[in-house]
Amino acid sequence: MSLEKTLEDVRRGKPVLVYDFDDRERESDMTVASEFVTSEIIRKMRKEAGGLICTTTPYGKAKELGLPFLSDVFWDDREKYPLLSMMAPTDIPYDGTKSSFGITINHRKTYTGITDNDRAMTVKAYADIIFQDKPAALIRKDLAENFRAPGHIHLLNTSENILVNRHGHTELCTALMYMAGVKPSATICEMMGDDGGSMCRKDVEAYAEKNGIVVVTGTEIQEAWKKFKEQENRWSA
């Protein structure tokens, strides 16, 4: 199936499945453009994917707004809490770079923050706010007024220069959003199996065929992303 079909589904707010690489996690994530997330999408991710529901932020936007990597927060506070430095994620077996985890948030209008409605509200409002065409100081003010931290939506920050140094689902799915022309934040959730592990690629493909969902690989995204950057002269994101 062509990548253009995948991008069209992204533009329509439909979930797509992204398999990374045989030599990395060997996992598939269900992903949707964050601006189109609804409570129905969150429910689908929770019940049919089953992993951790996270929302991505491009590196440049996170840096501009002061949204840190959680590992940096822990490291900066290591003198007060020495255990945090001892637990630094330096031994991730599939990734030589640091964890993409950022902070966690809830929208201030949510109650507990964990329900499908609450998480959908948080995700969509986050995407709407961070990509506003206004100065960063005013966006930061909007973030402070609309969100509390910690919360139930896990933010993921891409690495600098997407798909150069890190090739995880955070980068792959965010690259899809850029190429689709939507707000470049993806909401993602790993596909879990019934055997205590992640859903194998064969079962993911069977699920996709049964449910009319597109599957795209990390290799396909990487190849398209390289062409996209050349066409758009987009060397960093």
Residue among 180, 155, 183 at smallest CA distance from 170: 155
Out of 106, 116, 167, 178, which one is annotated catalytic? 106
Taking the C-alpha atoms of residue 20 and residue 48, their distance in angstroms, rounded to an integer, is: 19
Out of 116, 118, 171, 190, which one is annotated catalytic? 190
Taking the C-alpha atoms of residue 118 and residue 213, their distance in angstroms, rounded to an integer, is: 25
Q: Does the active-site annotation cover 152?
A: yes
Q: Does the active-site annotation cover 20?
A: no
Q: Does the active-site annotation cover 76?
A: no
Overall residue count recorded for the chain in this entry: 237
Q: Does the active-site annotation cover 54?
A: yes
Residue 219: CB partners within 8 Å, gap ≥ 6? Answer: 21
Taking the C-alpha atoms of residue 192 and residue 97, their distance in angstroms, rounded to an integer, is: 24
Out of 54, 116, 189, 207, which one is annotated catalytic? 54
Out of 29, 35, 116, 171, which one is annotated catalytic? 29
Out of 94, 223, 230, 232, which one is annotated catalytic? 94
Q: Give the single-character DSSP code of 199.
A: P
Q: Does the active-site annotation cover 106?
A: yes
Q: Does the active-site annotation cover 194?
A: no
Q: Where are the beta strands (DSSP E) in the chain?
A: 16-19, 28-33, 54-57, 101-107, 147-157, 186-190, 215-217
Strands 28-33 and 54-57: unpaired
Out of 152, 200, 203, 220, which one is annotated catalytic? 152
The residues carrying an active-site annotation are 29, 54, 94, 106, 152, 190
